[in-house]
Structure 1
Amino acid sequence: MKAKSKTIPEPISKTRLRLWLRLLKLSAGIEAELRRRLRDGHDTTLPRFDVLAALSRHPDGLKMSDLSGYLKVSNGNVTGIVDRLTEEGLALRVAIPGDRRAQLARLTPKGKQAFDTLAEHHEAWVDELLGGLSLDEAETLSRLLEKARTEDDAA
């Protein structure tokens, strides 16, 4: 008679590590595809799209320092992008009364229109790239990821 071999269950840390690697692979793949589509189809970049999106969410404008903090990038990176957007008539800088050093960046109507077009494409691309998930699966995964984030934030 054969002796039954007992398998030692894998520690949950290994399962979570594999999950993290899968999330990274998925995220990197989606980001690379979005970058490619923005570049090839719209002659723009993901950082530029992110600046347009942030300014779109703040129609009254954002201080340049707040914009860089919001996007978690350096002031220099944001300044270069906003400079180019301004040159193209998509954004403008407005002086802040009483603060000679600070400026607000905001979208022009042309910038808002350009962003709205990009945002429609971006949403459709993400929908396509995650099209293997049903509505229920996407909602469940979203809830689980939020739960993981919340538990991490609590620690």
Structure 2
Amino acid sequence: MTISAPEVAATMSTKTRLRLWLRLLKISRSVENNVREKLRVEFDSTLPRFDVLAALYQFPKGLRMSELSGLLKVSNGNVTGIVDRLVKDGLIIRTPVPGDRRALRVRLTKRGEEEFALQAAAHERWIDSLLSDVSLDEADHMISSFDQILANMNDKAGEAS
């Protein structure tokens, strides 16, 4: 059985894309682990706490707990434990939602805004350092390519539903 040139090319492109995915995964995990460690060492904090603060920083009026968990794509239970600790630390506050006795809105305190600003500035420096070997042109090209991949994936997901 002979394999045709187009079949060989198709197999090679499939393998190349698989290698690309594995590299992306490896880089992503490596950067994430590096950031987790730096947050722990420099701020005695965690990536999930940083993510909650970052989400709330974007919404100065706060978010309902359900909105926060939806934005972070985690369960309400996961968010509740993190929010409890952030409230205890004075970085966020809970307030009732008018007209809904069961719902709570969470938002950053002044101290939370200040703490997040420090962490966000450090986070930006860490990422810049980790990716410093990537030129600005390469970074722009990669961003464009990844945006196209995401758009294509969203289009395919829409077709499937």
Q: Same fold (TM over 0.5)?
A: yes
Q: TM-score, normalised by structure 2?
A: 0.90
3-state secondary structure, aligned to 1:103: strand
Deviation at 1:10, TM superposition (A): 5.2
Q: Which amino acid aligns with 2:129?
A: E
Structure 2, gaps ≥5 residues long:
157-161
Q: Which amino acid aligns with 2:131?
A: L
Deviation at 1:9, TM superposition (A): 3.0
Distance in 1 (CA, whole Å) between partners of 2:39 and 2:141 is 29
Deviation at 1:76, TM superposition (A): 1.2
Match of 2:73 in 1: 72
Q: Please say if 1:30 is aligned against 2:26.
A: no
**Higher helix proportion, which one?**
2
Match of 2:103 in 1: 102
Deviation at 1:148, TM superposition (A): 0.9
Q: Deviations over 1:16-69 (max 9, x none)?
A: 111100000000000000000000111000000000000000100000011011
Distance in 1 (CA, whole Å) between partners of 2:44 and 2:10 is 47
Within-5 A mapping of 1:56-71: 56-71=57-72
Q: Deviations over 1:44-102 (max 9, x none)?
A: 00000000000000100000011011101111111111111111111000101110000
Within-5 A mapping of 1:130-141: 130-141=131-142
Q: Which amino acid aligns with 2:76?
A: N
Within-5 A mapping of 1:110-125: 110-125=111-126
Distance in 2 (CA, whole Å) between partners of 1:150 and 1:13 is 20
Match of 1:18 in 2: 19
Q: TM-score, normalised by structure 1?
A: 0.93
Q: Which amino acid aligns with 1:76?
A: G
Match of 1:9 in 2: 9
3-state secondary structure, aligned to 2:127: helix
Q: Which amino acid aligns with 2:121?
A: E
Q: Which amino acid aligns with 1:152?
A: M
3-state secondary structure, aligned to 1:58: coil
